[in-house]
Amino acid sequence: MFHRLSYEHQLEIAEKFLAREIEFLAARGHKLEPDDTVLPFLVRKGFHPKLGARPMRDAVEKLVGDAIAECLLTARAACGVLAVDDARDCLVVR
């Protein structure tokens, strides 16, 4: 039986996965700086009530990767501030 993770622990886990993804992308030339709205968004998207934080890594990789891909497909540099676009419910690079 597992105990439910506190919101603070969920934020810590999301922060570690995000840091790893940003480091991975920085090695490939994409410099990102997350704003304050990114971690709560990742927790909301990556935390599952029954599975806990297990889906978090996949959610971080997909959401950040989608933001980078959108930049590259529109011929923009994938560098800047990583932020939440509330209207589209996704991450974007500004």
Q: Could you report the per-residue pLDDT of 34-82, keeping only the tens digit for each? A: 999 999 999 999 988 888 888 999 999 999 999 999 999 999 888 999 9
**Predicted local confidence at residue 13, as pLDDT:** 95
pLDDT band at 32 (very low <50, low <70, confident <90, very high): very high
Whole-prediction pTM: 0.90
Cα 15 off chain centre by: 8
Cα 79 off chain centre by: 15
**Predicted local confidence at residue 39, as pLDDT:** 96
Strand runs labelled E in the chain: 32-34, 80-85, 90-93
Residue-range domain boundaries for the chain: 7-93
Q: What is the DSSP letter of 85?
A: E
pLDDT band at 7 (very low <50, low <70, confident <90, very high): very high
What is the C-alpha to C-alpha distance for residues 71 and 52, in angstroms, rounded to an integer? 31
**Structural fold of domain 7-93:** Helicase, Ruva Protein; domain 3 (1.10.8)
What is the C-alpha to C-alpha distance for residues 69 and 77, in angstroms, rounded to an integer? 10
Residue 57 has a CB neighbour count (10 Å cut-off) of 16
